[in-house]
Structure 1
């Protein structure tokens, strides 16, 4: 709770830059959600067509989803650094 209070005090100084960082973090999360959704959709369609490859496909799907999620976390961290190191 104390960390949230400190962050809110920092944001009060220059609202436009901080708002941009917040919007950037939101866009990163939305993009990751869309990407992981597309990965899951494609994997389920592939499993429905060829059920015998579901084990390999599931493993590849998890790796691809982790890479997309890592890119989203990178975007969120950059936006947080903009807020905290300004």
Structure 2
């Protein structure tokens, strides 16, 4: 019985994490994290990903580029969060 309670608790936490990620993606898509400057890049990467004629090295480069873009977006989100915390007088 204890394991099922643990599993339920973990499932609830994972569900909460999934919901949080969806909220963050919505913020990103709606401009809360400078999505405008990344939108063109993301569109280009999506277009390249849809092509069937890319060979393996090109696919690897595409994956690496997607990782770098996501890293840049994460850094921007972190910078924005830090800026908000610095501006908040409660902290």
Normalising by structure 2, report the TM-score.
0.48
Superposition pairs of residues 1-86 of structure 1, within 5 angstroms: 26-45=32-51, 47=52, 51=53, 53=55, 55-86=56-87
Shift of 1:33: 4.3
CA RMSD of aligned residues (A): 2.4
Specify whether residues 52 and 85 from structure 1 end up closer, same or farther in structure 2 by C-alpha distance, changes over 3 A only: closer
Structure (1/2) with the larger helix percentage: 1
- Structure possessing the higher relative contact order (Cα contacts under 8 Å, 6 or more residues apart): 1
Shift of 1:69: 1.2
Q: Which runs of 4+ in 1 moved over 6 A?
A: none
Shift of 1:64: 0.3
In structure 1, the gaps of 5 or more residues are 1-24
Number of corresponding residues: 57
Normalising by structure 1, report the TM-score.
0.50
Specify whether residues 61 and 84 from structure 1 end up closer, same or farther in structure 2 by C-alpha distance, changes over 3 A only: same
